[in-house]
Every structure is written in C-alpha cells, then in structure tokens.
Structure 1
Amino acid sequence: MNLAELESLIEPVDLRSCLIARNGRLLFEHYRNSRIPEEIAKVNSCTKSVLSALICMAMDHKRIPEADTPVSDFFPKLPKDADPRKREMKLEHLLTMTAGFEWTEFGRLKSFPRMTRSANWIDYVLEQPLSDAPGTRMEYNSGVSQLLSAILVQATGLPTARYAEEMLFGPLGIEKYKWETDPQGIHTGGYGLWLRPEDMLKFGQLYLQSGSWNRQQLISKERVLRSIQPAVPANPPNRGHYGWHWWTDSFGEESPEGRNGISPTTSFHYFYARGYGGQFIYIVPVLEVVVVLTDDKRKRDRHPANVFRDFIAPMLLRACGK
C-alpha cells in the first residue's frame, strides 16, 4: 500500500483520524493533531455495533434468549397494545431494524429527536404505531436500539456500560470511555458512546478474529457470523444490507470464478459500523484488514468524498489482493 499516496489523498478531507491495520499490525496511522490519540470522542451510531456485541455475549451466556424470542417477554405492556402485530415482534426484528415502527430517524417526523426530548424513551418507542408488520422492511431506528439496551439491563441485572466493562472493554483493554444515558439511567443503545480511535480499532480487530482476543473467545464464532450476515436490504439511500446492527457491502467487480460470485482479486466483501458525522469501523475479512475513520466537522464543512470506497478500498485491492 502506498502510504504516501494515501496521506496526500486524505489531506483535503481533514479527517480527525485514520487507522489501518492488517493481521493485527498497524500499517497506517493519521491524526489531525497530537492530542487526538488519547482523546475520547463521540462514535455516534457505531454504538449500535458495540451494543450488538454485548447482546451476542449475553445470548452466548444464556442471559438473553435466542433471537426468535418475543420482545413482549421484556415489555409486558406490548401485548396490551391495540395493534396485535406488536405481539409478533421478535428480538431479531430489533437487531435488524425490521420491528415495523412508523419512524423517520431524522426526517419529517423527527422520531429520534422527539424520543430524546421525551420523559421516558422506552415508553415513547413502544407507543409508536406500526407502519409495517414486524420482519417486513428495514427502517433505521435508534429507538429499537434503546429497547435492546433496556433488555440487556433486564437480563443481566447490570447497567449496559458496566456489563461492557466486564465482558468487552476489560478484556480489550479499553479503559477510557464515556457513555450517555436516558432519563431512566439506561445507557443509550443507538449512540452516545465515546471512545479513542485506537480502541475502535481493537473492537474491529475482535470481529476480524471472529470474536477471539488473546486466545479467549469473547463472542462465539457462530454468533459473530450470525450478526454480520446480510439480513435485509438497506433502505435507500443506504447501500448494501443490514445485519444485527452492522452494515454489510462489497467493493469491486463481481466475477463468476470467485467464491459466491466474488473474486478476491477484483473485489471483496466487508462489514462495518457507521456513526453520524464520519465515524466508521470497517472490517475486510478476506484481506484481514481493519480500518477506522473518525471526523468531527459539521455537515456543511465535511468533504464529500467517501474515504473508504474512494481512496482506501482501491489501494487495498492493489496492495493486499491475492
């Protein structure tokens, strides 16, 4: 990989940070200034993928039942709703954003901002009407992530952040973080986590290693694979598919000779955590690569380039393709 070329390409973008590792070895490290490596910052909706890991861990340890469990097992008011379809809602539907709620994250209805202004976020989400039967269609919804955080608290008896410290942050050596809470003290499931770029890279490396860290299986391989599988097509204008609070996509040209129609010499599949404002953790299994990007500029000041697909992915194919 031509690191000098990459440095020049991303210079106009003015990223807060850019880290690239292969086989666990850091290949490229860029920070806007020398303070950033030790500063925690908002990862926004990358929080969802961290929450997914915690849910998977709780399932592995039998604290949370399997994904086909009704959501009403955790929220008794749900079966009393006038819409009987809410009784069909499963944990799987929350994880894949297919719960069916009438919701526009930042659009006309502004459901996400309205939730954060309500006195009880969980009640606000559960009371929203359904626009679709559960499992029918993906609709990006930070409210269902809050439901998952509340379920984790119920199931483990611990605050979400405390469970993360014991099961995930501690083993990964993540010591500096901040995690916001709702009015009831439930840690925000859809956003609100603050991390260092290096610790975001550790989290990505854990998933590259199929849930293994220092010879310890923190998340079962089967659960990791399940969570990153393309479950539903992403709703436009998003690309690719959505898994269990992870995005999935591919880069390059398809080839009939390649595995599953994808040739590793001309393309690759990847999955990623994505947070508003330019926070990303990309994992490319076939190339054994993890990429972390962070930014902190307002929308009007951000560069229009998709740094991963426009600059980094082509270099990965040239330098790492086999």
Structure 2
Amino acid sequence: MNKSQLSAALAPQNLRSCLISREGRLIYEHYREPHIVTQIAKINSCTKSILSALICIAIGQGLLPQPSAPLSQFYPQLQLDADKRKAAITLEQLLTMSAGFNWTEFGGQNSFPRMTRSENWTDFVLQQKLSHKPGEHMEYNSGVSQLLSAILVQGTGMPTARFAELHLFEPLGIEQYEWEQDPQGIHTGGFGLRLRPSDLLKFGQLYLQQGNWADWQLIPAELITRSTQTAMQAEAPRRGGYGWHWWTDSFAMTAGGTTESVLHYYYARGYGGQFVYVLPALEIVVVLTQDHQGKQKKPPVDVFREWIAPLLVEEVL
C-alpha cells in the first residue's frame, strides 16, 4: 500500500484517526493530534456492533436463547398486545432491524429523539405500532438496540457494561471506556459508548479472527459468520445490506477497466464518521474516526471506498 499517497488523499478530510492493520499487524496509523492516541471518544452507532458481539457471546454461553426466540419470552406483556405479531418478533429480527416497528430514526416521527426524552425507553419502543410484518423490511431503529441491551441484562443478570468488561473488554485489553445509560440504568444499545481508536481496531481484529483472541474463543465462530452476513437489504438511501447490527457491502476490484473480482466486507458505522471495516479476504481491518472539528461540517463521504479501498486492492491485482 502506498502510504504517502494515502496520507495525501486523507489530508483534506481532517480525520481524527485512521488505523489499518493487515494480518494483525499495524501497517498505517494516523492521528490528527498526539493526545487522540489515548483519548476515548464517542463511537456513536458503532456501539450497535459491540452490542451484537455481546449478544453472540451470551448466546454462545447459553445465557440467552437461540436467535429464533420470541420477544414475548422477555416481555410477556406483549401477549396481551392488540397486535399479536409483536409477541412473535424474534431476537434475530431485532438484530437485523426487521422487527417491523413504525419508526423513523430521524425526521418524520423523530422516534429516536422521542425515545430519549421518554421516562422509560424500552416501554416506549414496545408501545410503538407495527407498520410491517416482522422479518420482511429493514427500518433503522436504535430503539430495538435498546431492547437488546435490556434483554442482555435479563439473560446475564448483570449490566451490559459489566458483561462487556468480563467477556469482551478485559480479554481484548480494553481498559478505558465510558457508556451512557437510560433512565432505568440500562446501558444504551444503539449509541453512547466511548472507546479509543486502537480499541476499535482490536474489536475489528477479533472479528477478522473469527472470534478468537490469544487462543481464546470469545465469540463462537459460527455466530461471527452468521452475524456478519447480509440478512436484509439496506433501505434507501443507504447502500449494501445489514446483518446482526453490522453493515455489509462489496467493492469491485478492477484492472485495466475490467472487473477482476468482488471484495466483500462488513463494517460498524457510527454517526459523524466512525467506522470499523473488516475485509476477510485481504485480512485487513480499517478504523476511521471523526469529530467535526475545524471547518469540517459534515462527515467524510465514503472515505473508505473513495480512497482507502482502491489502494488496498492495488496490491492483490
């Protein structure tokens, strides 16, 4: 990879950080300021992919049931709901954002802001009407992520953050973090986690290694595979697909104007330019973070696809 070319391309983007590892070895590292190396910062909706990992760990340990388990197993009151479909919503449908709730994350109904202003976030989500049959349509929904965090608390008998400490953070050597909570003390499932860029790189590397870290199988390999496969097509204007709180996409590798092959990848994505990309075929993990400092008023538009991916695939063509 041409590092000087990459640095020149990324310079105008004013990224907070950019880390790239290949086969577990750091091959590119950029921080806008030295203190960012040790500073935790908001990862926004990348929190969802961390939560997905915790759900997979709990399933693997038998603390949560299989993904086909119905929501009524955790919230029996749903059996009394006028819409009988609610009780049958599955864990997997929550993970794939296909539960069917009538929800507009931002704009329109403003469901996400309304949830955060409510006294009880999980009750707010459960009370929403269904606009689609569960399992048929993806609608991006941080509310179902909050349900998953609450379900994790039920299954493990401990706060989401404590479960993360014991079964994810400590094994990976993640020592610093902060995690927001809702009014009931449930850690936010869809946002609110603060980590260092290097810790996001460790998280991506764990997935690249199929859940294995230092000969310790933290996450069952079969759940890594299942959770990072396309389960639903993303709703417009987003591209690609969606797995279990992971985005999926592909990049056409071309040479001489001819498509040689297609590179598949999956990634965690957070508002404002927070990303963790995992490229299994190339054994590469890419972390990008941003914070809107300076004159940058919008998050960089597809920095990965525009500048990083083409340089990465040059070496394999």
Equivalent in the alignment of 1:93: 93
Equivalent in the alignment of 1:243: 243
* Partner Cα distance (1:266, 1:136) in 2: 30
Q: How many Å apart are 1:144 and its aligned residue?
A: 0.2
Q: How many Å apart are 1:107 and its aligned residue?
A: 1.5
Correspondent of 2:279 among 276, 284, 289 = 284
* Partner Cα distance (1:93, 1:87) in 2: 12
Equivalent in the alignment of 1:308: 304
Alignment of 1:1-322 (within 5 A): 1-252=1-252, 266-297=261-292, 301-302=297-298, 304-319=300-315, 321=316
The alignment covers a number of residue pairs equal to: 314
- The 8 Å contact of residues 272 and 299 in structure 2, kept in 1 or not, is answered as no
Can you give the 5+ residue segments of structure 2 that lack an aligned partner in the other structure? Answer: none
SS at match of 2:104: coil
* Partner Cα distance (2:59, 2:86) in 1: 23
Aligned identity (percent) is 61
Letter in 2 for 1:70: P
Letter in 2 for 1:170: E
Letter in 1 for 2:156: T
SS at match of 1:62: coil
- The 8 Å contact of residues 273 and 281 in structure 1, kept in 2 or not, is answered as yes
Q: What are the Cα deviations for residues 108-162 of structure 1, in whole angstroms up to 9, with x where unaligned?
A: 1100000000000000000000001110100000000000000000000010000
* Partner Cα distance (1:69, 1:114) in 2: 28
Q: How many Å apart are 1:45 and its aligned residue?
A: 0.3
Q: What are the Cα deviations for residues 42-91 of structure 1, in whole angstroms up to 9, with x where unaligned?
A: 00000000000000000000000001000110012211111111122111
* Partner Cα distance (2:132, 2:262) in 1: 35
Letter in 2 for 1:306: D
Q: What are the Cα deviations for residues 198-224 of structure 1, in whole angstroms up to 9, with x where unaligned?
A: 000000000000000001110111010
Letter in 2 for 1:156: T
Q: How many Å apart are 1:247 and its aligned residue?
A: 0.4
Question: Could you state the TM-score of these two structures normalised by the residue count of structure 1?
Answer: 0.95
Name segments (4+ residues, structure 1) moved above 4 Å. none
SS at match of 1:66: coil
Q: What are the Cα deviations for residues 146-183 of structure 1, in whole angstroms up to 9, with x where unaligned?
A: 00000000000010000000000000000000000000
